[in-house]
Amino acid sequence: MPPAEKPRPPLPADALSLPARFYVDEAHYAAELERLFLARWFYAGREAEIPRRGEYVLREVGDESLIVTRSDDARIRAFFNVCRHRGTRLCEAPAGSFGGAIRCPYHAWAYDLSGRLLGAPTMEQCPDFRAEDYPLIEARTTVWDGHIFLSLADDPPPLGERLGMLVDKFQPWKMAEMVLAERVVYEVAANWKLIIQNYSECLHCPGVHPALQRLSHFLSGENVQPTPGYLGGSMELRDKVETLSRDGRYVGACVPGLAQNDLHQVHYYAILPNLLLSLHPDYMMTHRLTPKGAGRTEIVCEWHFRPESGDSPEFDPQSAIEFWDMTNRQDWHVCEQMQLGLKSRAYRPGPYSPREDLLYAFDRLIRESEESR
């Protein structure tokens, strides 16, 4: 039985999709990347990717490359991947370990894991040269329950202000303890906002995702009040469905201590600008979006389970991975089709349904950020 639909109030008459330039114009894209990504907290992956000192991952956003590493005091730090000698990129490999020092491949300037310059060949012959004047330039980092966020702003407001009630709401999942089972990287020929908009409505679910629709009815969704930090809500699992997987049965160990409600629904939140966080009763799925141009987005999707899941001989993460990999590809396909349509001279902003209310809220945030330039 489908759930009784709780009708949502109609949106104002001006609730129309955004003009095409928001999706296809490279200059618009570059300005938006500066305002909505680099100047805010953006998601950069999981602390568990760099568990030991000296391990690092690179994160490339726009023209910037950032080295995210674990320093001697075990803190996560991020440095611009730019040598203080003549600006060369310090490292090229997307992930690895520095050992004790970050060494530039060009003239061998070397930095410690706190960014201090340790050595600069022949510069000791310059009487005015002081190594302390040339540390690596650092970006801001913060960690929320295992998730790393970066900001290139000088003094961004605390991430907690953006996350608001989500910090308490998701505390039961103990996300920092979750263990990665799989990572799939997708290259999608669509603007990053289309991915967020697609994630934020399930009006498309019956046609695009028949398997998802069998496990969770598209009209069962309830949204919370959107904020500048996040958009989202939850959807109910149908009767006798335990989680989203090939057969609707649990895949991993259930998160202990979940409220009764949380055992029968999946929470979907777009943490703006680039983390899609999907919490199931027995696993966490994350999508990390990295814009690569007006019409291109890299999406890293990961599946994380409770550490005790592996104790069970029945543990089969593939059941969740295959289900969502199929669903992801269905989503990316419609996003790419929309990107193509947006390039046409025939495209005009069209009206949103009441079930696309989060998109209307998101678009207003995008427009407000443009107006506040």
102 forms part of the interface with ligand FES (CB under 6 A): no
- Kindly state the smallest distance separating residue 131's Cβ from ligand FES, in Å: 13
Report 277-336 residues binding Fe ion (CB under 5 A).
331
DSSP state of 34: I
> Cα-flanking dihedrals φ and ψ of residue 71, to 5°?
-90, 180
Selection from ligand FES, Fe ion, none that 159 binds (CB < 5 to 8 A by kind) is none
Instruction: Residue 294: name its binding partner from Fe ion, ligand FES, none (Cβ under 5 to 8 Å by kind).
Output: none
Please identify the residue of the shown chain whose CB is closest to the bound Fe ion.
Answer: 331
Residue 176 φ/ψ, nearest 5 degrees: -60, -25
Q: Does 79 sit near ligand FES (CB under 6 A)?
A: no
Structure tokens at 98: 């520095």
Which of Fe ion, ligand FES, none sits in contact with 85, Cβ below 5 to 8 A by type? ligand FES
CA distance 43 to 59: 10
Residue 214's binding partner out of Fe ion, ligand FES, none, with CB under 5 to 8 Å set by partner kind: none
Q: How far is the CB of 95 from ligand FES (least distance, A)?
A: 21
Q: Within positions 106 to 135, which residues make up the interface with ligand FES, using CB under 6 A? A: 106-109
- Candidate segments 84-92, 145-153, 158-166, 324-332, binder of ligand FES by CB under 6 A: 84-92
**Residue (162 or 288) nearer to Fe ion, CB:** 288
Report whether 110 contacts 51 (CB < 8 A).
no
**Closest CB to Fe ion among residues 151, 278:** 278
* Distance in angstroms between the alpha carbons of the first and the last residue of the chain: 49
Q: Which residue has the tokens 């109030």?
A: 9
Tell me the C-alpha distance between 214 and 19, whole Å.
Answer: 34
Instruction: Give the span between the Cα atoms of 116 and 329, in whole angstroms.
Output: 44
**236 Cβ neighbours under 8 A, 6+ residues apart:** 3, 216, 217, 220, 264, 265
Q: Cβ distance 265 to 234 under 8 Å?
A: yes
Tokens of 191: 């603007």
Site membership for ligand FES, residue 86 (CB under 6 A): yes
CB of 7 vs Fe ion, minimal distance in Å = 22
User: In the complex, which residues of this chain contact ligand FES (CB under 6 A)?
Assistant: 83, 85-86, 88, 104, 106-109
User: In the complex, which residues of this chain contact Fe ion (CB under 5 A)?
Assistant: 331
